[in-house]
Structure formats: C-alpha cells, structure tokens
Chains A and B, each alone.
Chain A
Amino acid sequence: MFLLGDEAVAQGAIDAGISGCYAYPGTPSTEIMEYVQASKTAQEGGIIREWSANEKTAMEAALGMSYGGKRAMVCMKHVGLNVAADPFINATITGVNGGLLVVVADDPSMHSSQNEQDSRYYGKFAQIPVLEPSSQQEAYNMVRVGFELSEKYGVPVLVRLVTRISHSRAAVVPEKPDRRKELKLPQNLKQFVLLPSIAKGRYRKLLSSQHVFEEDAAESAFNQLILSENATKGVVACGLAYNYMMENFPEGDFPFHMLKLSHYPVPEQLIRAIYERSEELVVLEEGYPFLEDVLVGLPAKDKPVHGRLDGTLPRDGELNPYLVGKALGLPLEEPRGIPAVTVPRPPTFCPGCGHVDVYKALNVAMEEYGPGRVFSDIGCYTLGALPPYNAINSCVDMGASVTMAVGAADAGLVPSVAVIGDSTFTHSGMTGLLDAVNKKSPVTVIISDNDATAMTGGQIPAGLGKIEQICLGLGVEKEHVRTIIPLRKNYGENVEVMKEEIKYKGVSVIVARRECVRILADRKKKAKAGSEK
C-alpha cells in the first residue's frame, strides 16, 4: 500500500480493530478520518466514523467508547489538543477500559496553523507513553503497538505526527488484522468517577506506572541505540529527525554513536548510555527542544549538548536534511538562492466565494465607525485580513471572535463585530454567544455560513441547517437573528441589514448563507457523472 502517514495511521487503527474513530478536522490530521470514512472494511465492520463538533467532544466520545471496552481512536491537529486538554488529562486519571489512542498532528513551521506547539510536552504533562513515528511504516506499526500498550497499562497512549509524515506517501506493509472487541463494562464501575477520594488512588496508580512506561521505552523496538567503536560524538535523533540524519549517511556509515528515539517517556538508561560514551551530544528533534531541555539541565552535565538551544540548529521551524547535515558538521555546499523576482503567491478566496460578498458589504457598513472593530476567527474567511479587504482585526483560536468582541465591547469598543464561520461557530462560538446574550452585549455576530468546513476540505459541519435555531435557542431575540444571501445582486440590501444590526445596542446575529463554491462545483460534477451513467 502506498499511503500518506495519516492514512497509515488510519489503516493501522482499522487493522487494530477499532470500533470508533472520532475527530474534528484540522491540517495536517484531517486525512486520518477521511481514510477511515472511505474505507470499505470500516463500513462493513460498522466502525463509527462521523466528524465531531470539536476536539473535546471527540475525545470524550472516544473515552466513552473505551469505557464500553472497545478500542477507540481520536485524531486532531496540535491546537485541537488545547481544546481537548481537559478530557485528555483527566482520561489519564480515569484510565481506560478498551484501548484509547490519541493521535495528534503537529505543524512545525506553521504551514497551516497559528502556532507550532510540540505535543510531546502534553504527553509528558499527562505522564503517559508517547510514540513518534519516523516513517509511514512505523506510523502503521505504532498504532498497533499503541493500542496494546494502552490496554496493558490501562492508560491512553499519544501518537505524535508532524506535517511531513502526515502528508508524505510511502509504501506500507500491513499486518494481520485484530478482531474488534465486544461490549464489556469496566470491572470497577467507579473507575471513571473522579471524585477526589477515587481520583487520588487513580493518580497514584498512574504515578506507580511511570517506571514501567520508561522500562518499556528503554526496550522498545522503536528506540535504537548504536554505539560505535571509536566515535566521540553522540547524536540523539527523535522521530522524523532520524530520517534527516540518515539521509546524510544513506549507507549507514555515520561516524557517531546514535540513539534513535521514537518511544517516550525519555528512557534514562539509553540516554545515560550514549551520554557516557560521547564527548559531546547533538540533539535532533522536530518541534521544540524537548529532549535537549532535559539534557542541558542534567545535574552532573560536564559535556556540551548541541541543538536548538545553543544555535547549532534554528530555534524555530521544521528541520530538513541540510540543516541536520550542517549541525553534524558535514561540508555541504551552499544551495542556490531564490531569485529576487520570485514574489510570494499567497492563498486567495476562490472566485465567487460568498465570504467576499460578506466583507464587501461589511466594509461599507462599518465605514461610519472607523477601522479596528471586527474580530474574526479561523477558516477560509480569515483571508479577509489580506488586501484588498483588510476587513478583520483578529484570528486567535476557534470561537474567539465572539468572546473577544464581547470583551472589547466591555472595554468600551461599541459597536464590536464578530465574523465567524459555521463550523467554527458550532466548534466553540456557541458558548460565547450565550455569554453575550446573558450580559446583553452590544455586539453583532456575522456567521458566514457556507454549509461546509471549507478550509480543511469541505467536511460536513455539525450545525448544518441548524444555525438560526441554535442562536434563537441561546436566547438571541428573534428580530435580531437575520439571514442574508451574500450575492453581488443583494449587496445594497445586505449593507442595510448589517447597518441596522450593528446599530442595535444588544446582541444581534446575521447569518450570511451561501454554499461554498467548491462544494457546489463538486456536487454538480458528481451529479453530472451520475446522470451520464
């Protein structure tokens, strides 16, 4: 099979006999769920595989399936784990019944993200095993092993991917599938009740497992220590960085001691072994200087440790074979430069996109108040920040447009406006709208509803066809829930509706609904293909 890293994870999970895959889309993790959704085996086996409203609901549903004794996987991008952090950390205290695998795809270099946080820290924070594949095959195998570890120790296991493994294809050889599990309640029906009296005991159990997690890591086939006869330098290569190192020594003839590290917690025994044999260490890791930080802080450190902290490697951004080769002191030729004429070509709105009509009208409706009052969110509509629109002043985390507008109105910025997509609204905007309603904030929330989670490829959004009802249910006054169609021919009318609602000194919602042009085109294409058959 020729699979993306994401697809290898999905195939691994299907073969591990999962009964449910739970996820909210987010680059670079989206293709995991998409693969499970498209899989015939998954369909025939009745594997649950619908998108969740957000990462927290996905994590909790997966935990519920684990409670039922079945294997569950939950997938998200790195920032999604911030949203799901509460159930994630607490699931390490409840422990699991059926195996629970948490797959998180980091995005170093921020190709499609707001930050480049390193999920290994979450793994350490949660005090559970973390697996970090260096190849698509390893990704497949790690999912199988991850479920075994999860059930063996009764804790969730974290798999950390990065963009270049998620979105790169290579050959993967699958193994014999496991059977799916039967429904089976936890032996102790109070295991999942985290009252302090129970939680304390559960937490001690987690703590007492720490040394076995580490022993497992020390013996793991995913970690590999190679000590050479007369090397003086030691290299620790974590996850994908191992490939970048090997790329510089394709015949395997590297003149170093080498520790390939892909299974955490950091096994002290292996670290000590390479440290003692080396006169200096170079740490290669994708993301933050997670391991380097540990080594630099060793109490009896008497040897230099090089990496991202001492400038041997850049402090931010992803690694590549060239940077790694340089860090290892190889004489590499300077690559060619990029000619100065090569201007960037940033992403743009698709021709005919409804978000454009929203911004054209909004910019005019806001003219009388001056700039700096429009809070927005994450999705295709964030492109409204760029010229020629320059229409929005924030994009922070999913749902923040609504609540930041509320806070800004509290600070005296009246009127304040929020622009949010439909999927983002049901992800995390609804609760903020309830806050606004309860305090009668003078804010206008424009829900730019394209009937899709477009930015990540057009997944079906959780609130499809329910947006107005949700707003009414949260208590927005009926006269101030307005629906418009963002088309050029309605421009004048839309400006008027916006002006009216922005003037209103309470909560108003404008639902600007028109289907995403891409989804529409795809639908037409499919219909045409269907009618031809």
Chain B
Amino acid sequence: MKTDIVLAGVGGQGILSIAAAIGLAAVKENLYIKQSEIHGMSQKGGEVYSHLRLSDKPVYSDMIPLGQGDLILSVEPLESLRYLPFLKKEGWLVTNSKGYLNIPDYPEIETLVKEIEKIPNHLLVDADRIAREAGSLKAANMVMLGAAAPFIQVSEENLEDAIRTLFARKGEEVVEKNVKAFRAGMKEAGEVS
C-alpha cells in the first residue's frame, strides 16, 4: 500500500495544513511517511508544493519519482498543471476550480479547464464556494482535502480527527468550521465521482 501525493498551491493557501492533517492521520495508521516542503524564496505569493509519501514499507526518496504520483491535490487550477510530470497514468488530479489571479499573464480559466479535462481521472471542485457555504472561505484547503479523501489511503475518520487535533489550538469554532468544510468537500466528491 502506498499513496504518493503532490500538494500544490500558491504561498499562503494553506497546503502545509493539508500535509499536516494527512501526516497526522497516517501516523495514526502506523504508516511510513516522508514529507518534503518548500521554504524560502517561493513562499511569497509564488508557486508552492509539498510531496507527501505514505506507505506500509519504508520510503526512500523524499521526492516522488516522476510519473509515479497517485494524486495531485491542488488548491489552485493553474498550479495543478505544473506538477503533471509527477502523476502516473491512472493517477487522480483533484483541484480547486477557482484561480488565484496574482500574475498579469494568468491564462483564461477555460484553457486551464480544458487541460485539466485531458487527464482521464480528474475532479474539479469549486472549493471557494463550498467553503463559503460551509462558513469560512479560509477553509477552502480543507474542502479540497475532503474532496481528495477518497483517493488517500487513510480512513476518513482519522483525517477528521487529524483536523480536530491540528486546529484545536485555535478554538472550537475554528475546528468546527474546518471539519464542516472537510465534510462538504467529501460530499462533493461523492456526488461527482
């Protein structure tokens, strides 16, 4: 059993929280984990990614080998395409459909959607809308985690517990908003796929 996940987004969109939640859940299931992160220069409104590798056997490389990723989980559609070389043939691309427009030459969203639809296993999620409906636009990252949960080989209960642990520091209200967002994302994935 292994799940190799590329997490993608723009600096500040909370992909490290997604990584932390999956990591916590995987620890609970006694899996081996390696998680590489991006720190430094590119954090400032630039492209950021994290490689998360879960397996029941020891993991060697900190980076996912090209063409072997099981899942690209992206909080931003343009960013979801940047890491396609890592995705295996039958891999899943799960991405937020709402663009983060902070560059002058941001492509037409239709062009991006067309590229995303070329990937046989893809799931486009309007995470910003779902997050807003669930009570916090900030929790769009947890909507995306929910939407991708079916493709991650750790149980949904453990993921939810991990979210509770992760946000516990910030108070009950923040925890509930994030859990609600996670569940809404999961529901969306269930309806679409």
- Residues of A whose CB lies within 8 Å of any CB of B are 2, 4, 27-28, 30-31, 111-112, 164-165, 167-171, 240, 243-244, 246-248, 250, 320-322, 325, 332-339, 341-350, 380, 383, 455-457
**CA of A46 to CA of B43 in the docked complex: distance in angstroms?**
33
On chain A, the residues within 8 Å of B14 by CB distance are: none
Q: State whether A170 touches B34 (Cβ < 8 A).
A: yes
Number of chain B residues whose Cβ lies closer than 8 Å to a Cβ of chain A: 47
Q: State whether B37 touches A4 (Cβ < 8 A).
A: yes
Q: State whether B42 touches A342 (Cβ < 8 A).
A: no
**CA of A380 to CA of B63 in the docked complex: distance in angstroms?**
27
**CA of A384 to CA of B103 in the docked complex: distance in angstroms?**
16
Segment 77-105 of B: residues with Cβ below 8 Å from A: 78-79, 81-82, 84-87, 102-103, 105
On chain A, the residues within 8 Å of B107 by CB distance are: 341, 343
A346 interface neighbour in B23, B36, B46, B118, Cβ under 8 Å: B46
**Nearest CB of B to A124, in Å:** 26
A336 interface neighbour in B34, B87, B111, Cβ under 8 Å: B87
Q: State whether B41 touches A345 (Cβ < 8 A).
A: no
**17 residue pairs from A and B, CB less than 8 Å apart:** A30-B39, A112-B39, A168-B51, A169-B23, A170-B62, A171-B33, A246-B60, A246-B61, A320-B65, A321-B65, A322-B65, A338-B82, A339-B115, A344-B47, A345-B79, A348-B45, A349-B44
Please name the residue on chain A nearest to B69 by beta carbon: A335
Whether B67 is near chain A, meaning CB under 8 Å from some CB there, is: yes
Whether B168 is near chain A, meaning CB under 8 Å from some CB there, is: no
Q: State whether A338 touches B85 (Cβ < 8 A).
A: yes
**CA of A345 to CA of B47 in the docked complex: distance in angstroms?**
6
Taking A111-B40, A250-B57, A380-B44 as given, write out 14 further A-B residue pairs in contact, using a Cβ cutoff of 8 Å, ordered by the A residue number.
A27-B41, A111-B41, A112-B40, A165-B62, A168-B51, A320-B61, A335-B67, A336-B87, A338-B81, A338-B84, A343-B105, A345-B47, A346-B103, A348-B46
On chain B, the residues within 8 Å of A28 by CB distance are: 39-40
**A28-B40, A321-B61, A321-B63 known; A345 and B34 CB under 8 Å?**
no
On chain A, the residues within 8 Å of B85 by CB distance are: 335-338
**Nearest CB of A to B118, in Å:** 8
**A169-B35, A170-B33, A456-B40 known; A345 and B66 CB under 8 Å?**
no
Whether B166 is near chain A, meaning CB under 8 Å from some CB there, is: no
On chain B, the residues within 8 Å of A348 by CB distance are: 44-46, 102
Please name the residue on chain A nearest to B65 by beta carbon: A321
**A320-B61, A347-B44 known; A341 and B33 CB under 8 Å?**
no
